[in-house]
Copies of this chain bind each other. A is one copy, B any other.
Amino acid sequence: MSGPRYTETLAKLPATVPFVGPEAMERRSGRTFRTRLGANESVFGPSPHAVEAMCRAAQVTWMYGDSENRDLRDALAAHHEVDAANILVGEGIDGILGYLVRMVVEPGDAVVTSAGAYPTFNYHVNGFGGVLHTVPYRGDFEDPEALIAKSREVAPKLVYLSNPDNPMGSWLSAARVREMVDAVPEGTLMVLDEAYIEFAPDEAIPEIDPEDTRVIRMRTFSKAHGMAGARVGYAIGAADLIAAFDKIRNHFGMTRISQAGALAALEDQGWLEHVRTQVAASRERLGQIASDNGLRALPSATNFVAIDCGGDGDFARAVLEELLARGVFVRMPGVAPLDRCIRVSVGPPEDMEVFAGALPLALAAARTDGG
């Protein structure tokens, strides 16, 4: 009765998770958060039409979802002016990243990313036995030239770039991203994570031929569309690559409810515009709150703002802890020197005021702790 024989890769994996969720944090602390600004969820919510569509679909959830995600893929293809064969719908970007890493990474294979970039991507790479090679950010920006230089050195299966960047909120121009695509070495696939692209200025959105085999773009309904809890992501890529996912993906893995909700959300571009306006206003407000406290908010092309707490990582961690203790759920970057910042999601005025009330107290307490 010694239990199963795990794979060598699994046996070596640590028991870590990429993120402890807010509910889990609440249970561990015994405190309920007053505001939830740590996961870059859209507190502005999903389109009312999407909610309606999900309610209708809930009534017929005895049926499996369409295994080919046909209606949603067709609508996304029309929206992006590509062929449906260039669109993969999956269980959030997290789910799609997991499939992609599985498809290309064997134990020992190299993967390149930026130190401090998306932990869940790294989780999947580690989970399949890949070896992560990182380059530092340049200032508060991911550094395409460094990512390419490292890729030339280690010949990775994948090189990851998020634009706009999480956790810093910074963005690169379309021209910089295009240059990176053009420089990707043979045999390396670039993963362009555009989870926050709907919040970015037009000049951050590159034109990329969907049949360009050097890059796969990731998009999501979790952020601007306010449907994080529905798990709908999609990828845009070369038809051969998209078809390869069919060899391993969970064909009936999408919920029927989420399929219906995403389709309705995509059709409600007015709601998206409304959210964008609210997000821009809330970013301004976060900037004001930061400067009211003598801090600097970094420019953001996302639905969150990195606020430089003006000290080192230990100080920012102390501020974060003091905010959590006051019922304000926020997160922070994981590596220096990015970790001089806390990362605060935008939200409606009432959430911003909770944050505005808690921040000076948290700063004062952190300064006392440190003194």
User: Is A350 an interface residue, CB under 8 A from the partner?
Assistant: no
B65 with A229: CB separation less than 8 A = yes
User: Is A105 an interface residue, CB under 8 A from the partner?
Assistant: yes
Q: Which of B68, B92, B231, B250 contacts A94 (CB 8 A)?
A: B250
Task: Tell me the nearest residue of chain B to A211, going by C-beta.
Answer: B1
- Using Cβ atoms and an 8 Å threshold, which residues of chain B touch A51? 58-59, 61
B45 with A4: CB separation less than 8 A = no
A61 with B227: CB separation less than 8 A = yes
Q: Cα distance A126–B13 when bound, in Å?
A: 23
B24 with A66: CB separation less than 8 A = yes
A105 with B7: CB separation less than 8 A = yes
Q: A10-B247, A20-B67, A256-B229 are in contact. Are A2 and B61 (CB under 8 A)?
A: no
Among A2, A105, A250, residue most surrounded by chain B Cβ atoms (within 10 Å): A250
Q: A10-B247, A103-B4 are in contact. Are A228 and B63 (CB under 8 A)?
A: yes
Q: Which of B4, B57, B91, B214 contacts A253 (CB 8 A)?
A: B91
Q: Which of B7, B59, B257 contacts A45 (CB 8 A)?
A: B59
User: Is A314 an interface residue, CB under 8 A from the partner?
Assistant: no
- Using Cβ atoms and an 8 Å threshold, which residues of chain B touch A238? 3
- Using Cβ atoms and an 8 Å threshold, which residues of chain B touch A253? 91-92, 94-95, 231
- Using Cβ atoms and an 8 Å threshold, which residues of chain B touch A230? 61, 255-257
Q: Cα distance A20–B66 when bound, in Å?
A: 10
Task: Tell me the nearest residue of chain B to A14, going by C-beta.
Answer: B247
B91 with A62: CB separation less than 8 A = no
28 A–B contacts, CB within 8 A, in A order: A1-B186, A2-B186, A3-B238, A4-B187, A6-B244, A7-B102, A19-B251, A21-B68, A23-B70, A27-B70, A45-B60, A51-B58, A54-B58, A54-B61, A60-B229, A61-B229, A62-B228, A63-B228, A63-B229, A64-B222, A64-B228, A91-B253, A92-B253, A94-B250, A94-B252, A230-B257, A255-B258, A257-B257
Q: Nearest 8 CB-CB pairs, A to B?
A: A229-B256, A21-B67, A54-B58, A61-B229, A3-B213, A4-B189, A62-B226, A23-B66
